[in-house]
Structure 1
C-alpha cells in the first residue's frame, strides 16, 4: 500500500493503542511539510527563495495530494507574489493533520474512537487498525539510519523531515537522539535527489524552525 510522506509521519505520531497523537504540534508541522515536499517531488510545486510556486495542476493520482495542490493553487492565485513556505505551513498545519488522519482512516490503517472528556467535551482518537504499513516503515527507517543502507529519495525525504522537526523519539523511541541524529543529518545533506528537492528540504527545515519558535514565543507571551 502506497502512503504519502505526511501519512507516514502521522502513523509514527499516533499511539498504536490509545490513538493519541504524540508530539502533536511538531508532527503537525512535519505532516504539512511532508505534503508540500511530496508535491515538489511530483513536479507540481517548486520551492525557491523561501516561496512556493505551483508548476503543474494535473492529478498526482493521490486524492490527499491533489486536494492539497488545489488548495495551494487557489491560495497562491489570490496573492500578488508567491507565498512564503512559513505562511503555508502556519495556514495548513491543523488542516493537513485532519486530512491526513482521515485518509489513514479511509485506508483502514487506523480506526476511530470517540470519547467525552469530563463527560462533556468530545474527543476523537485513532488507534492502529492495520500495523503492517507502520512496521514496514519503521523497518525501512532502521535499515537506513541504524544500518547505513542507502536511502531512496522518498525515504531520505522522510528522514530529513523527521530530523528537521526533531521527531527522533517518534521514529526511534528506544534510542537517544544522539544515537540517530548524526546519521539523519548525513542523509539530509546527501546527494539523494535533485537540487530542487534538496533546496525544498533546506527551506522547509528553516521554515519549521521559524514557525516553531514563533509558536513558542506566542505561547510564552
Structure 2
C-alpha cells in the first residue's frame, strides 16, 4: 500500500541515522495537514472557507487516515457548526505525528530505538530501516521542482504543504530556499487538481501559517 502524504512528510523530517525529528514543530503542522489533504483527495472531507466538514465516513482502508477520519467526525459532530481547520490542526498535530511515525514503523520503513537524554529522560527515536521509499520520494520531488517535471495531484499537494510549512530545507537540503521557492509558488498556484482541492490546500496553508505564527509569538514572549 502506498504511503500517505503525512508519512512522506515524516520521512523528510526524520534523520536517517539518529532518528530524531528535524524542524519538529513545523513538520507536525504539515503532517496533520497531510492527513487532511489525503482525506480531501479521497473525498471524505471538504475544507471550505477555512472550515472542515466530513462528507463521507466510509473507510479508505488506510488505517492512519481512517483513525483520523473517525476522530474528526466525532469531534466535529459535537460542535454547533463546522470547525475551523486551525482548531483541528492545533488539536491534532502532536497526536498525528505519533500516529504517523508508528505507521512508518509498522511498514518497516523506520525502527524504534529507546534512548535516554542526559541519562535520565527516556525518548524514542526512529532511524531509517528501509530507505527505498524516501529515496524515491526525494527523487520525485527533485524531478518536479528542480527539473521541471509535471507533478501529479498528490505530489503537487505535498509540495504545497512543504512550502506552506516552510520545510524547504527538509525536502531540498542542498539547495538554497530562494532557488526552489519560485517553483513551489508556481506549483501551489497551478491547475494540478480540481478547484475545490486546491482551495482546500490554500486554506490549510493559511491555517498552518496562522498557527505557526501564534506558536512562535507565544514562545518568544
Fold match by TM threshold 0.5: yes
**Which residue number corresponds to residue 214 of structure 1?**
214
Matches of 1:164 and 1:100 in 2, distance apart? 20
CA RMSD of aligned residues (A): 0.6
**Which residue number corresponds to residue 119 of structure 1?**
119
Residues 199-218 of structure 1: CA deviation (Å, up to 9, x unaligned): 11100111011001111111
Matches of 1:179 and 1:216 in 2, distance apart? 25
Q: Give the 3-state SS of the residue equivalent to 1:116 in structure 2.
A: strand
Q: How do 1:85-96 residues align onto structure 2 when only pairs under 5 Å count? A: 85-96=85-96
Residues 68-106 of structure 1: CA deviation (Å, up to 9, x unaligned): 000000000000000000000000000000000000000
Matches of 2:182 and 2:207 in 1, distance apart? 21
Q: How do 1:41-120 residues align onto structure 2 when only pairs under 5 Å count? A: 41-120=41-120
Structure 1 residue 62 displacement after superposition: 0.3
State the TM-score, normalized to the length of structure 1: 0.99
Matches of 2:194 and 2:112 in 1, distance apart? 39
Gaps of 5+ in 1: none
**Which residue number corresponds to residue 153 of structure 2?**
153
Residues 132-188 of structure 1: CA deviation (Å, up to 9, x unaligned): 000000000011000100000000000000001000000000010011111011011
State the TM-score, normalized to the length of structure 2: 0.99
Q: Which of structure 1's runs of 4+ aligned residues deviate more than 2 A?
A: none
Structure 1 residue 121 displacement after superposition: 0.5
Q: How do 1:8-23 residues align onto structure 2 when only pairs under 5 Å count? A: 8-23=8-23
